[in-house]
Each structure stands twice: as C-alpha cells, then as structure tokens.
A and B are shown apart, each in its own frame.
Chain A
Amino acid sequence: MQSLTAAAAAIELRGIDKSFGAVHAVRGVSLAIPRGSITGIVGENGAGKSTLMSILYGLYRADAGQILIDDRPVDMASPRDAIAHGIGMVHQHFMLVDTFTVLENLVLGAEGGPLLAGGFAAARAELTRLGQEYGLTVDPDARIADLSVGEQQRVEILKVLFRGARMLILDEPSAVLTPQETDRLFEILKSLRARGVTVVLITHKLREIMAVADRVIVMRQGAVVAERRTTETSTGELAELMVGRKIRLDLDKAPAVHGQTMLAARDLSLVDRRGVRLLNGVDLELRAGEIVGIAGVSGNGQTELLQVLSGIRPPTAGQLEVCGRVIDPAHPIDPAEMRALGLAHVPEDRLRQGLVAAFEASETSILGYQDQPPYCRNHLLDVPAVDKHCAELMRRFDVRPQTPGLRSSHFSGGNQQKLILAREMSRLPKVLLVGQPTRGVDIGAIEFIHRELVKSRDVGCAILVVSVELEEILSLADRILVMSGGRIIGEVAADQADERVLGRMMADA
C-alpha cells in the first residue's frame, strides 16, 4: 500500500500477518505512519486494530511481516523493546498507583538507583520541562486518587514521554473523558504533534478522528481497506468503509404509543454508608411503549439510579413501584425478584456486571435466569436447552462467532453487548433498563442495537436508557430526563431537544 504523505515514516509495517488458531486476525497489513502526524485507526470490533497495535508494542509477535522504526527493521519481542525504540502506549485502563503522587508514579520503574532523592529531583525537573513544552501541566505532588480522570490520563501521557517516547499510541483515549476533557486532550495531542511527536489514535468515535487526526486508516476484517486524509473524507464515508455497506446513523421510528405506567419512582433517595447523598429525591415514571432517556455527565447518580431501579441496592428513602409491586426501605427487593416481576436490566458495565468473562457464552446467556425453565428444572441445569437457547439468541442478534461454547471474554465488546441485550430482551420484559447501550460498541452494532430497542418499544416494553452519548439519547428517546447531582433536573420532549439544549441544562446544574 502506498503512503499518502511524502514525509518520512516514523513507523512502517510491512506485510504483518497474525492468526489466533482458526481466527485470522491480521491479514498482510502494510502501512506507514509519518513522523510528526496524528493518525487515526478506525474499524469495527474485531477488525484487527487492537491486535495490530499489540504487535507494534511487542505484546504479540507477528506470524509474518516486518516492523520498521525510522526505516530500520526492528524486532519487537516485548514492550521493553518498544519502549527502547521510543514507542509509548497509553492504555484505556490507567496503570497508575492510586496512593502514590504524580511524581512517584512517574519515577516508578525508572527510579535510577536505590536512593530515590536523586531520581526525584531529576524527574521533577523533567516534569517541569515537559509541562512547559507540551502544556501538560499537573501538580507533581498531588496524589493520583485526588486527580480527575482527565488529569490521570495526562499523567499516563507524561509517564510515556518521561521514558523518552517519540511515538505515542492511545487506545480509546476519550472513552472515559467528559467533552471538555476531550477537547483539552486534543489540544495536548496537537502540541505534541507540533513538537514532532508521532501520535496514533485508536478510536471508534469518528467525529473525534475528524476533529484531531491528519490521516485516518480504516481496517476491516484484519486488513487495511482505506487510508484517507481527514480533510478529504466524511464520517459517513468512514462509517461505510468500516462496515462495508451503507450505514444509517439516524433512526427512523414511529411516535411512541403510551400505555400504562409500568415503573414509578417517587422521591427516591440513596445515601451511602459515609453519608454521601447519591440519589436525591428522584421522581420518575416509565410507561409501556416509550423509551425514556436519561442524559447527564457521568457520575451524577445514573449508575446508582439503575442499581436502585433494578433491585441491586435498596433505596434509603422514597418509594418505587414496579409492575404493581411497591418497594421502599422497609420492603426491599432483590434483582431475582425484579426479574420475576418482568423487569430486565442491561447493566452499564458489561464486563463487571453483565457477564462472567470466564464463562462460556451459553452460560452467560442465562445469567440471572439460571433458575428458570427451560434452562433449569429442579435446580438441575439442562445443558442442551441452554446451548440451544444461546444459539437462538446468537442467531437472532447476529452475535459472532456463533459458538455457544466459546468463552465470553473471547467475544468483542459489541458482540458481548449484543449477547447481553439478546438475553435480557428474549424474555419479553415489561420493563427494560439499559445502561450505556452502545459503550465501546462498533458502529454497525450500534445501528442494530438501536433498532432492536425501538422494536421492543413498539411491542409495548417500557424502556429506560441511560447514556453519556447525547447523540444516542437524542436518536433513541421519546422523552429525555437530564440528571445532575443525583436529581432529575429537567425533562424535554425528544422532538424539542438537541445537543445544545441538553448541554446547557447539564452545564447549568
């Protein structure tokens, strides 16, 4: 493949090939990343971009092909080699010691001798220099636990630069950031580029790629299918290239037909053991046949609201009525009873709650329903029935690969999410709670998930969607509630809302 730029390549991959058993993850990929540029790599889950970057960072070894750094072939046997060649990686999950200060984290692994004092002084000087040069300012003596997520990410970037990296790989950097923090991050990336640092950005957010990257590489099914200058492409074209077919990003849906109230919360409050008020008098009504969206900056009580509504935590005050049953602090309920009432719940964090990574997909497909026929009779599991059920879910929701015996962790994020959604929707619940329906899910799957949710609504399910993606809320919801500080601070009908209105409400809170 021919590079689009004339600038010298900082990183060049030639014919990289990698298989995991029967899965051909990367198929003869050749690409060049010019020095001092920001390059985006986009693709669906399982397109091979993660594997490719792992090979570059020395985590995997390619079956075939060559890696060239500054035009010299190198052998990446481990991340240590990658670091030695000036490649640094910022992971989606930060690798910081919470109880250490910024400086201590920076020095960790590069102490420079048994006595820390010298290393610390040198590190402090270096930190000041880096801060001035790239605008990466962080208080060196602050404890990590006291920093915001955006600042923690800055520490991660500093850590990589501190070790002399000239090439930076960022994996889904904006997934955990607020919009403001994302903007801040992009400024930093641009100033890094101005100083000659090469940045590779892995993301599924096409708009961000368009905003910050110079070039974008699109991968599909293990191969590079296109390379574009961002100035010469559009999100629509990129989405199409990623999926390999036309994508409709907007959702066509009929107006909601409201039925009776299925879930009602009155003055619902939740105070934790330390006395922190997590939910502060939430009033909420959910009727059959509508989708209610909850918008808000993450960490404003959405997680706790879902926990209380699904029966995981009892409210400390107020009342909740679900399908005719009243729940209050004196009459708690557990999630299993909630399910029996007809409430299904797609949790916000699928890896931590929605599935068991070590379980086979078929086992994950009955999580929460393991006591129910036909999967289980007299407490004995009917394994063929479970497998059949799982295969059926996989077929209906297009979960790939369609192998009920495969470990849940071996599915891509989008396929995991589809499996969980399939599980929760297959029992035709009366109420469906969905947290972050498409977090970390690729664009083709997003389309599918949204359609399924609307289909469910149309047959009379009452759906509550919590999402930090305003776009998603706007396209899915019939009514939108804005949450802040553990309270519902406003309601907007979907046809009167746009990002500006919602953004203002969220900001004013």
Chain B
Amino acid sequence: MSLVAPRSVRRPLPRWVEIAVLPLVNVALAFLVVGIIARTIGVDSFHALKLLLVGAFGSSESIGYTLYYATNFIFTGLAVAVAFHAGLFNIGGEGQAYIGGLGCGLAVLALDRYLPGPLVIVLAILAAAAFGAAWAAVPAWMQAWRGSHIVITTIMFNFVASALMVYLMVNVLIAPGSMTAQSRGFAESASLPSMQAVLKSIGIAVAPSALNLAFVLALLSSVAVWIFLWRTSWGYALRTMGHNAEAAIYAGTSIRRMTMLAMCLSGALAGGVAVNELLGVHHRIVLDFPAGYGFAGIAVALMGRSHPLGIVLAALLFGALQQGGAELSFEIPAMTREMVVVIQGLVILFCGALAHLPRPWLQALFGRRG
C-alpha cells in the first residue's frame, strides 16, 4: 500500500523495442558523436567507421585479435560481475590479474623442464586462479573481519601488486643478461596453443593472431559462472547477500564466508587475464600485461548487466573497439590512440551510463500502449 515513487518513473516500452531498438539507437548515437568529432578534426567519418569495422572484423587476423582482446574483457568482466552479484565492488581486477600472472609464471618457470607440457599448462592455469584469488582474499578478509571498505583496499592492492611485480621482475625473476625486465621464456610445450595452430590441426587455415585457447577457457568460465550464480545454492546465497544482506543473514548465510567466496572467485577469474596474456601470447612474465583490462572489466560488467552472456557480448564489443581502434589509428594518423580511447569512452557512455537516454523518444514513438 505504499506510493513510493522511483520505480514508476520508467514507463514500459514494448519488449521488442526494449531489447532490439534501444541498444541499436545507443550505439548509433555513440557513433554519431564520434562522427562529429572525426569531422571536426578533418577525418571522413564514414571512412573512419568503415576502417574501424573492417579493422575489427574484416579478416581472420582481425577477428582473431578482436576475440583475443575480448578474452581479457570476458575474464575481468566476469570477475567484476561475480563480486557485484554479492554486493561487492571489486576494483582490484588489475592487481589480481597481475598477481595471477605471477602465479601462472612461477608455476611454468618451476615446472616446465620437468613435467609434460599439458600438465604444466593445467597447473599454471590453476596457479593463476589461486594467486588471483589470494590477492583478492586479503581485501575480502579486511572487509569481512575488520570493516575496511573493499573499494579502497582493492584499489590500494592494485598499487601494491604493481610495486611487488616490478620489484620481483627487476630484482629476482629477470632473465639473466636480459635488457628488459622480463623472465626467461616458457618452454614451447608449456605455452597455450594458439587458435591458429588448433584450427590448423583440424584443417582450417586462419591468419596468425594473438588468439589462443584462453578464449575457449573464457567462454567455459562464462558458462561456469552462470551455472554457479543461478544453479547452485552457493550462487543463490551469494546473490541473496548482494541484493539484501539482511535477508541473507536471516537465511543463515555467513556474510563473512560469502564475502571471502565471492572475492576469491572474482580474483581467480581476473587471473584468467594472465592465462591469456602470459601463457597464450607472451610466453614469459612481462611487466604491465594487465594494461587496464581490470578496470575496463567494470565497464564490461556494467554493460553486460552482470550477466555472463551479456558480458561475453559486451567483451566482444570492447574487443572490437580495441582492435578496430588500433587499425583506425594505424590507417589514419590523425586518429591517434587518444582519439580511439575517446571513441571507446563514448560507446561506453552511450551504451552504459546513458543507456536510457533515448527512452523518452522511443516512448513517444512506441509507448502508446504503455
């Protein structure tokens, strides 16, 4: 019997408009603004758009790179989403991915000379997840037992991770005689096969790209996250906590344990970035491989509405923008990489933050039956 207002402000649109037209209008609006900006710096905006799209999807190589970038975004998007479903804002994906890389790399460096490759790969993936989880577990513990806010601590842990990695890379793990702060290369057998090699073995020829089996791992993780969140009692308890912590307490869920579980899973997923980057591409531990994917994961999760399928699709969009954007600045020098970041930002702005901007217009068009 209450007349509380906020929910009512959004009036219903026909379902097909909600699902199909609204997002399309959002993307179109974003590209409209991009086009205007491109025009003002003297670039033919249609040509630029074409370059962007062809750069992202025009060849098997560009699709490979798009999917490779998407892999990172899927992992970090899932990481943010899992924590988000538990009502926790994990800003630490960056650091968790970084430390995940440490675990992944240490496992390979320690074992690749003694164990068969596939076994090393499996252990390295587990190590990436375990180290990522451990790095997330500390802020989780501090929130659950000491009341330190997880947003603050995870941000701080990004810096700690970065400093720790630089120290280890420069002083301990650096390959002897190396000019640069990177570890020795992993044994050939202990690297994740590239997608090109895998497809070749089943008779499909594609151009070489950074795409590797980590992409498959990312897709499997998405399915696993979906099953976990919506088909297990743990996921149920986790979501209950996220939506309504008091109801979770009422239901007998330990908030502390669930905070730990959610953050550890989140960190483990962030560790997937290390699998893609180190095990799949660089084949050694390098500095700064998380390159902002951890932060971008927040936007990916936001755009994907924290649903694994949404995250995969949002990650594809982000991957396409990253790859297409690189090609764009490659072909048109005026479109510097800063411009590409602007484009990416606009798409995120219109599809995420301003997702409901065109709603009133669409309502005027379609909302009559409301």
Q: Which residues of A contact B (CB under 8 A)?
A: 19-21, 45, 49-50, 53-54, 57, 59-61, 63, 79, 89, 91-93, 169, 171-172, 202-204, 310-312, 334-339, 345, 347, 352-359, 363, 366-368, 370-371, 376, 379-381, 383, 413, 440, 442
Q: Which residues of A contact B202 (CB under 8 A)?
A: none
A60 to B12, CA, bound (A): 11
A110 to B216, CA, bound (A): 58
Is the beta-carbon distance between A356 and B3 smaller than 8 angstroms? no
A92 to B249, CA, bound (A): 26
Residue from A50, A202, A310, A334 in contact with B254 in the complex, judged by beta carbons closer than 8 Å: A334
Band of interface residues on B: 20 to 34
Q: Is B226 an interface residue (CB 8 A)?
A: no
Q: List 11 A-B contacts (CB under 8 A).
A: A45-B1, A50-B3, A92-B1, A172-B1, A335-B249, A335-B251, A338-B252, A352-B246, A354-B247, A376-B233, A379-B232
Q: Which residues of A contact B250 (CB under 8 A)?
A: 310, 312, 335, 345, 347, 353-354, 367-368
The interface-forming segment of B101-109, B186-194, B235-243, B340-348 is B235-243
Q: Which residues of B contact A379 (CB under 8 A)?
A: 232-234
Q: A20-B12, A172-B1 are in contact. Are A356 and B247 (CB under 8 A)?
A: yes
Residue from B3, B9, B12, B252 in contact with A337 in the complex, judged by beta carbons closer than 8 Å: B252
Q: Which residues of A contact B246 (CB under 8 A)?
A: 352-353
Is the beta-carbon distance between B3 and A370 smaller than 8 angstroms? no
Chain A nearest CB from B233 CB (Å) reads 4
Chain A nearest CB from B339 CB (Å) reads 39
- Which 7 pairs show the lowest CB-CB distances between chains A and B? A336-B252, A335-B252, A368-B251, A353-B250, A370-B233, A171-B3, A370-B236
Chain A nearest CB from B9 CB (Å) reads 7
A86 to B8, CA, bound (A): 21
Closest to B231 in A: A381
Q: Contact flags (1/0) for B1-41 with A, using CB distance below 8 Å? A: 11111001101100000000000000000000000000000
Is the beta-carbon distance between B232 and A352 smaller than 8 angstroms? no
A202 to B247, CA, bound (A): 29
Is the beta-carbon distance between A383 and B252 smaller than 8 angstroms? no
Is the beta-carbon distance between A61 and B254 smaller than 8 angstroms? no
Is the beta-carbon distance between B3 and A92 smaller than 8 angstroms? yes
Q: Is B370 an interface residue (CB 8 A)?
A: yes
Is the beta-carbon distance between A334 and B252 smaller than 8 angstroms? yes
Q: Which residues of B contact A356 (CB under 8 A)?
A: 239-240, 243-244, 247
Is the beta-carbon distance between A371 and B1 smaller than 8 angstroms? no
Q: Which residues of A contact B233 (CB under 8 A)?
A: 370-371, 376, 379-381
A205 to B244, CA, bound (A): 29
Q: In the complex, which of the residues A49, A345, A356, A379 has the most CB atoms of chain B within 10 Å of its own CB atom?
A: A356
Is the beta-carbon distance between B252 and A171 smaller than 8 angstroms? no
Q: Which residues of A contact B244 (CB under 8 A)?
A: 352-353, 355-357
Q: Which residues of B contact A357 (CB under 8 A)?
A: 243-244
A370 to B237, CA, bound (A): 8
A354 to B8, CA, bound (A): 23
A19 to B3, CA, bound (A): 17
A57 to B5, CA, bound (A): 10
Is the beta-carbon distance between B252 and A91 smaller than 8 angstroms? no
Chain A nearest CB from B34 CB (Å) reads 33
Chain A nearest CB from B223 CB (Å) reads 14
Is the beta-carbon distance between B231 and A59 smaller than 8 angstroms? no
Q: A45-B1, A172-B2 are in contact. Are A380 and B251 (CB under 8 A)?
A: no
Residue from B1, B3, B239 in contact with A59 in the complex, judged by beta carbons closer than 8 Å: B3
A370 to B4, CA, bound (A): 31
Q: Which residues of B contact A20 (CB under 8 A)?
A: 12
Chain B nearest CB from A93 CB (Å) reads 6
Is the beta-carbon distance between A363 and B236 smaller than 8 angstroms? yes
Closest to B250 in A: A353
A345 to B9, CA, bound (A): 35
A442 to B1, CA, bound (A): 9
Closest to B3 in A: A171
Is the beta-carbon distance between B3 and A202 smaller than 8 angstroms? yes
Q: Which residues of B contact A50 (CB under 8 A)?
A: 1-3
Closest to A368 in B: B251
Is the beta-carbon distance between A54 and B252 smaller than 8 angstroms? no
A366 to B249, CA, bound (A): 14
Is the beta-carbon distance between B3 and A89 smaller than 8 angstroms? yes
Q: In the complex, which of the residues B11, B249, B250 has the most CB atoms of chain A within 10 Å of its own CB atom?
A: B250
A169 to B3, CA, bound (A): 10
Is the beta-carbon distance between A171 and B1 smaller than 8 angstroms? yes
Q: In the complex, which of the residues B3, B234, B236, B239 has the most CB atoms of chain A within 10 Å of its own CB atom?
A: B3
Closest to A45 in B: B1
Q: Which residues of A contact B12 (CB under 8 A)?
A: 20-21
Closest to A351 in B: B244
Is the beta-carbon distance between B243 and A202 smaller than 8 angstroms? no
Q: Which residues of B contact A19 (CB under 8 A)?
A: 369-370
Q: Which residues of B contact A204 (CB under 8 A)?
A: 1
Is the beta-carbon distance between A93 and B2 smaller than 8 angstroms? yes
Is the beta-carbon distance between B231 and A171 smaller than 8 angstroms? no
Q: A21-B12, A54-B8, A60-B8 are in contact. Are A339 and B252 (CB under 8 A)?
A: yes
Is the beta-carbon distance between A171 and B2 smaller than 8 angstroms? yes
Q: Which residues of A contact B231 (CB under 8 A)?
A: 380-381, 383
- Chain B 247-282 residues near chain A, CB threshold 8 A: 247, 249-254
- Chain B 310-338 residues near chain A, CB threshold 8 A: none
Q: Which residues of B contact A63 (CB under 8 A)?
A: 369-370
Is the beta-carbon distance between A381 and B236 smaller than 8 angstroms? yes
A311 to B123, CA, bound (A): 42
Q: Which residues of A contact B254 (CB under 8 A)?
A: 334
A21 to B237, CA, bound (A): 31
A346 to B230, CA, bound (A): 25
Q: Which residues of B contact A367 (CB under 8 A)?
A: 240, 247, 250-251
Chain B nearest CB from A303 CB (Å) reads 12
Q: Which residues of B contact A352 (CB under 8 A)?
A: 244, 246-247
Residue from A54, A91, A353 in contact with B247 in the complex, judged by beta carbons closer than 8 Å: A353
Q: Which residues of A contact B369 (CB under 8 A)?
A: 19, 63
Q: Which residues of A contact B240 (CB under 8 A)?
A: 356, 359, 367
A202 to B3, CA, bound (A): 10
A171 to B9, CA, bound (A): 19
